[in-house]
Amino acid sequence: MALLITDKCINCDMCEPECPNGAIYFGPEIYEIDPALCTECVGHYDKPTCISVCPIDCIISHPEHQESEAQLWEKFVLLHHQP
């Protein structure tokens, strides 16, 4: 599943540079995560780095983008291993 930054975000800029997929960007009001690019760090780390560095715990599983670990691995391969 992809992750979601809630409206509790304080725009501290801790998460964006940690994302290995470039999925986090500054939206109209707060940081946002592109579900098409988010692999929850599968293929890079044991757990999502954005969650690890967030000082206020405002990053949750995205309720509209539920994916299995196998699907996250497929997405990782497509994003990082294209010929």
Cα–Cα nearest to 40, from 55, 53, 30, 50: 50
pLDDT reported for residue 75 = 92
Residue 69, token pair as written in the block: 């670990």
52 C-beta neighbours (distance < 10 Å), count: 14
pLDDT reported for residue 81 = 81
Cα–Cα nearest to 42, from 14, 77, 18, 9: 77
Q: What's the gap between Cα 45 and its chain centre?
A: 12
pLDDT reported for residue 83 = 60
Q: In CATH terms, is domain 3-80 a member of 3.30.70.20?
A: yes
**Interval 5-14 mean pLDDT:** 97
Look up tokens 């044991």; give the residue.
46
Rounded to an integer, what distance in angstroms lies between the CA atom of residue 39 and that of residue 21?
Answer: 8
Tens-place pLDDT, residues 34-78: 999 999 999 999 999 999 999 999 999 999 999 999 999 999 999
Q: Are the C-beta atoms of 36 and 78 separated by less than 8 Å?
A: no
